[in-house]
Amino acid sequence: MTFHAPTRAGQSVPKPTPPPGRLTATLALLSFVIPLSTDMYLPGFPAMVRDLSTDAAGVQLTLTAFLFGLAAGQLALGPLSDRYGRRKPILIGTGMCTLATALCAVAPSLELLTGLRFLMGFSGAAGVVVGRAVVSDVASGTAAARIFGMLMALGGIAPIVAPLAGGAIVNGSGGWRTVFWVLAGASALMFLAALLLVPESLPAEHRHAGGIGTTLKAAISVLTDRFYLGYTLAFCFASAALFCYIAASPFLLQNVLDLSVGEASMAFSVGAFTATASSAAATRLVSRYGSRPLLNTGLAALLVSSATALLVTATGNLNRVWALGLVGIGFLGLGQVFATATALALERVPHAAGTGSAVLGTLQSALGAAVAPLMGIAGDRTVMPLFLGMTGCALIATLAQWLTRQDPDLARRKR
């Protein structure tokens, strides 16, 4: 099965055929690598501190390494998919990710685990960055926004299940190392799904034939589109706010709010479910209201909830109701942002969808890697860095959105 891809820059882009449901489901499965690899081992953070003879910042470094690997992998594999097609990078990447994850389960030291987490992120990036490019190959406009919303909704199953499963494993006899064995099995399943169900969506005549020069030229053309850049920055800084929460949540929920491992896992899963439901709603709302209004609403919800949480924390009034309620509102906003910003950004660069996806994903992961270790600088019993980080990221995302206010594509298509 082969889909028709967009043409190169300067040529008209034919109306694409939407992908079948099984392809959308498979692409969602491939995107599971991020939430599974970041969320499933979170309940084991306190145990890892003890077992690896380190501190909170040391354990958070394993998350940072994964995110840096994810950034580097997307930067490398996205442009390669523009040159060699979508299918080969996905298969090679998911295969390597399976091996790296299995090695994480037996890593004897923090240093080796950190290095393997980088490799795990680099190889696992294939399913994420190339999957986004596949969507851009076969859909555009509100159709693409609906598909990205569906990917978020289906992909949202992973962050709901991951902390619950991780908490059950850590609380049981398995421990945090067993979590990585389970992740290795999940990665192997992703490889098989890609092998059997992901077709080549980029025909040979639409691939870039050049080497690094062509790749750099494509990257420059992407980065000089200020509307693409605005949507990308809005998406990436909103995502950075989420990574602030991911890195700090084990200590917020268990140490500050005094929840048990099981209760903390449940609280994290409820937040993930909120974002998933929001993305699912966006797939229906986008046809009625358009992508841009939903993006604005999501950013507003994220900024207001984060700033309010910062104020409540600064005044010493933070409790379970305030913390979980405000974080829930933020997750509602994130669901709207993730469902719309990606489609709006990639629609600006149909001639280099793989490169555009790589730039977006690389910046997203690099920002996540940068903010994650900052969440532990004040110790594991304060959350001021968390809400300062979330508020700052939400503010920058909102300001970045102003770069797109005169997007001619939106005016022409009335979206």
Class of domain 20-204: mainly alpha
Virtual CA dihedral for 348, 227, 218, 370, nearest 10 degrees? -120
- CA distances to 81, 377, 395 from 91, rounded to whole Å, are 12, 38, 38
Statement: residue 8 has pLDDT above 50: no
b/e per residue, 309-321, with b = 16+ CB within 10 A? bbebbeeeebeee
* Mean pLDDT to the nearest integer, 408-414: 53
Give the Cα separation of 70 and 125 in Å (integer): 5
Q: Which two tokens stand for residue 81?
A: 């998919």
What CATH topology corresponds to 211-405? Growth Hormone; Chain: A; (1.20.1250)
- CA distances to 96, 138, 224, 282, 399 from 227, rounded to whole Å, are 35, 21, 9, 21, 13
Write out pLDDT tens, residues 146-159: 777 777 666 667 77
Q: Which amino acid is at 230?
A: G
Read off the pTM: 0.71
Contacts of residue 366, Cβ cutoff 8 Å, sequence gap at least 6: 67, 68, 71
Residue whose tokens read 């660069």: 349
DSSP 200: B
Q: Which amino acid is at 386?
A: L
Give the Cα separation of 324 and 303 in Å (integer): 16
Residue 212's SS3 state is helix
- CA distances to 43, 153, 337 from 240, rounded to whole Å, are 20, 19, 12
Give the Cα separation of 404 and 51 in Å (integer): 48
Write out pLDDT tens, residues 165-176: 888 888 876 788
- CA distances to 211, 299, 308, 394 from 237, rounded to whole Å, are 31, 10, 18, 6
Range(s) for CATH 1.20.1250.20 in the chain? 20-204, 211-405
Q: Of all residues in the chain, what percent are helix, strand and coil, respectively (each to 5)? A: 80, 0, 20
Statement: residue 35 has pLDDT above 60: yes
Per-residue confidence band for 198, with pLDDT thresholds at 50, 70 and 90: confident
Write out pLDDT tens, residues 231-246: 999 999 999 999 899 8
Instruction: Indicate the burial class of 4 (C-beta count within 10 angstroms; 0-12, 13-18, 19 or more).
Output: middle
Write out pLDDT tens, residues 257-272: 888 878 888 888 888 8
With CA atoms as reference, report the closest residue to 344 among 393, 289, 290, 399: 290
Mean pLDDT for the chain overall: 82
Statement: residue 117 has pLDDT above 90: yes
* Mean pLDDT to the nearest integer, 204-215: 65
Statement: residue 140 has pLDDT above 80: no
Statement: residue 410 has pLDDT above 60: no
Q: What size, in residues, is the chain?
A: 415
With CA atoms as reference, report the closest residue to 163 among 31, 62, 39: 39
Between 208 and 7, residue with greater pLDDT: 208
> Bridge partners of 200?
2
Radius of gyration of the chain (CA): 20
Cβ-contact 242, 249 below 8 angstroms: no
Distance of CA 142 to the CA centre of its chain: 21
With CA atoms as reference, report the closest residue to 347 among 200, 159, 204, 140: 140
* Mean pLDDT to the nearest integer, 290-308: 94
Q: Which two tokens stand for residue 263?
A: 């209760």
Between 223 and 311, residue with greater pLDDT: 311
Contacts of residue 277, Cβ cutoff 8 Å, sequence gap at least 6: 153, 156, 335
